[in-house]
Amino acid sequence: MICSLCQERAIVSQRYLGRHLCQDHFIQDFEGRMVQTIVVNRMIEKGERIAVAVSGGKDSTALLFALSRVLAEKEVEMVALTVDEGIAGYRDDTIVAAKRIARQMGVEQVIISFQEEYGWSLDEMVVGAEVAPCTYCGVFRKNALNCAAKSLGVTKLATGHNQDDEAQSVMMNYLKGDMERLMRFRPRREQPGLIPRIKPLRDIPEKEIALYAMVNGIYFESRECPYARLSLRADVRDMMNRMESLFPGTRQKTLQGFERIEELCRGDWAQMELAECRECGEPCVGKRCKACELLGRLRPNLPDQIGA
């Protein structure tokens, strides 16, 4: 298999684009597409301080590495934010990897843990709980990242969400028939108290991110989160992977279709105004944020004031 742009041996076949790329052209293409996503969506401006959520997995590792390369000559400051949820046999290894990539790229790193922030590790939270582990993880992780980002004085929070993640999220909301959440998937303006999130890798498939990490010598092979198989996302991921294999470009077209729907429905689905949580002051819908609501369930000996 020969590169479509030169006579070198290709290392990747981009079936959805109808081309093959050698290592050098693949790296150029990867970083060029990421820059295009950043520029078109005005994700990063000169003089900003950006927090990069770095878990130690391939996506966030590749994100920090690629951003460090393309922003090397720009007046942009970066800090790595790592969340330790407290998942035995899984998170310890990835935190080591996160420390390694932050040190390699010369980026300051801040580590925040569920245990220190909330009083419980995720493993402790889910014992006997009726709420799915991914619900606890998603809510508290989002809360911890936003609070830490504000304390660090950053202007944006960059996450390693890829094309697979984005297409899965859209499909999950389709399956649930949740139009309100679907329309919130792509916020159109900043909300007070929320650090704007950016996704520079949103247009790049997961497999290409893994390959980029491999050819740059930064790939860290980790086990899948033990709670991942319990989520709807796992089933949607398997379905989308099968469809992509049979019909290359399915994920890309899923996102393009959503963007068209979002554009057509923009006037009918106004972005929701957020209030301040009466307990922690974080932005929320209603009087109490989801993090405080879940913390109330984790404190059986304290009165739960939901609805008071």
Contact of 306 with 296, CB cutoff 8 Å: yes
59 appears as a binding residue in the annotation: yes
53 assigned binding-site residue: yes
Strands 108-113 and 77-84: parallel
CA–CA distance, 169 with 47 (Å, rounded to integer): 32
Q: Which residues of 220-229 are buried (b: 16+ CB within 10 A; e: fewer)?
A: bebeebebee
Residue 70 in marked binding region: no
**83 carries a ligand binding annotation:** yes
- Is residue 262 within 8 Å of 183, Cβ to Cβ? yes
> CA 108 to CA 127: how far, in whole Å?
34
Residue 54 annotated as lining a ligand binding site: yes
137 in a known ligand binding site? no
Q: Which two three-digit tokens encode residue 84?
A: 């330790």
245 is in an annotated binding site: no
265 marked among binding-site residues: no
The answer to whether 39 is a known ligand-binding residue is no
Q: Is 280 annotated as a binding residue?
A: yes
Ligand-binding annotation for 170, yes or no, is: no
Is position 289 annotated in a ligand binding site? yes
Going by DSSP bridges, is the β-strand pair 156-158/49-53 parallel, antiparallel, or unpaired? Answer: parallel
Asked whether 155 and 77 are in contact (CB, 8 A), the reply is: no
d(CA 231, CA 103): 33
- The candidate with the shortest Cα–Cα distance to 227, out of 94, 130, 122, 118, is 122
Q: Residues annotated in the binding site for ATP, as ranges? A: 53-55, 59, 83, 160, 165
Q: Residues annotated in the binding site for Zn(2+), as ranges? A: 3, 6, 22, 25, 277, 280, 289, 292
Q: Residues annotated in the binding site, as ranges? A: 3, 6, 22, 25, 53-55, 59, 83, 160, 165, 277, 280, 289, 292
